[in-house]
Structure 1
Amino acid sequence: MSEATHESKQRLLDAALTVIRAKGYSAARVDDICDAAGLTKGSFFHHFKNKEELAVAAAEYWACTTGKFFASAPYHDAADPLDRVLGYIDFRSAIIQGDLPDYTCLIGTMVQEQYDSNPAIREACERCIYGHAAELAKDIDLAKARYVPDADWNAMDLAVYSQAVIQGAFIVAKARLSMDVALASVSHLRRYIEFLFSHPKGKA
């Protein structure tokens, strides 16, 4: 792929992240994405057959981009795995800033709309969510082994639960048009995780 071709494809992907997070998948038109990218529809159809193919590529691009972003985050520097888990939650809270489209999730936005009508998009979103959760589960598993080895829950379930809380926080933030509710929800998630690691059986 030539440098110019690669650049135009990346511009379309970046534009898709912006437009879909702001408008939703259904309302986002190919024309909107092309306008945001500063490219023609001819360029769009050179790279993608249709909006669905772009959405699947955008989900993969989002997973790659955010994966690098989280991999370089400072919470990884903590020696204690529980500090890394709590640091991850604190980091998620710290990046909730700006306007709603700036901090809400492309994946959550698309899968809410397309889970039943578009299997390819749903599967791409599932891979992204579970791939991200699997990375967090590595530290949760180490922390569980150190602090609550007999607890009756598993690391991957807790990692997926954390994503459910964060995605739900974004939904309620959209409903209320306020980041405050999202921040409060993530704060409660932190308290819950602290509770689990302070109770050997993980039960109230």
Structure 2
Amino acid sequence: MADETYEVSEIVDELLTKKRGIKEIIKEMKNVSELMVDLAYSAILFNNNDLAEEVKGLEEEMNKLRLQIEISAMLAARTSEDASKLSGIIRVAAAAESISNAAERIADTVLRDIELHPVLKEALEEAEETVERIIVTAKSGIDGMAIKDIRDNEKYAVDILCIKRGGKWIFDPKWDVKLKTEDMVIVTGFKENVEQFKDLVK
């Protein structure tokens, strides 16, 4: 109980210090839930434990964001009318968390080595696009490159969904953000393009 109280206290301090708005938090919840679904399906398709583990880690991030929304709503509600308006936002946040919970259950089938039904596996394999996790190294060729340079380079032909740097996620990174050694990058694109990208940055 003491640990939970400390966590809530930390979240309140973060909200007050960074002055994050409810709209910003909702947007991040949307980004996280969408990423979790993409990673979960790719984890199943390729039987990839690393992707499944990332989904589990993102579920913890979603729990934190849900707490941030609830606390922000409580701090913002000054009248019964405010509370009524903010209740809708909380429902949206709850819906996003439900999506993330479903993604976590999908990823859990990979971690528990549960065999997929052949029909489901065949359906997943028919998807044209995929998602992959790539670690940037000093020898990878993309160390120090800006997102814009990668997107504009025809030989890469992938989109960067987000970056995990030092334990922190950067969602929808701006084009001037430069990749660094040890960054974990989540990329998406047509299967052949993603595979080519992986080969190029080894």
More strand per residue:
2
TM-score (norm 2): 0.29
TM-score (norm 1): 0.29
